[in-house]
Amino acid sequence: MGLMIEKVRQLAERSEIVKYTKYKENNNDAKHLVKYQKEKDYEYYLCDYCYKEIKIANKWEERTGGVIELPLEFSNRGKVKVAMHNKCLKQFLKEMESEIINEKNKG
Ligand SMILES: [Zn+2]
């Protein structure tokens, strides 16, 4: 069983892709204030391939990745939602392809 194929099978079991929130560092002046609230910096996903942050930017041209729905014949549901960087997705699809070819060659 290929690593990537196994990975996708696991991802297919996941119900939702978790969105995380990054907060700005507390600055010391504000810490003693009762009403001080953590200030939201940005939201992000974790890449299913490299496990690093994918910042959710408002402008699409600033986005390095996001949630993509992949049509995959070997998953039970037919489609798998993944969160990935654009560059990771490319690499991921390449590895998947060669694994699928390997599987088929095994007969
Ligand atoms: Zn990545």
Check residue 65 and give its pLDDT.
Answer: 96
pTM greater than 0.85: no
User: What are the mean pLDDT values of the chain's consecutive 10-residue runs (107 residues total)?
Assistant: 81 89 76 69 95 92 90 69 95 90 82
Check residue 74 and give its pLDDT.
Answer: 59
Q: 36 CA distance to ligand 1 centroid (A)?
A: 34
Q: 106 CA distance to ligand 1 centroid (A)?
A: 30
Domain ranges in the chain are 3-26+37-106
Check residue 45 and give its pLDDT.
Answer: 97
- Distance between CA atoms of 74 and 104, rounded to whole angstroms? 12
Check residue 103 and give its pLDDT.
Answer: 82
Q: 87 CA distance to ligand 1 centroid (A)?
A: 7
**Cβ atoms 64, 55 nearer than 8 A:** yes
Check residue 9 and give its pLDDT.
Answer: 81
Q: 54 CA distance to ligand 1 centroid (A)?
A: 7
Q: 107 CA distance to ligand 1 centroid (A)?
A: 32
The DSSP code for 35 is: T
- Distance between CA atoms of 67 and 17, rounded to whole angstroms? 8
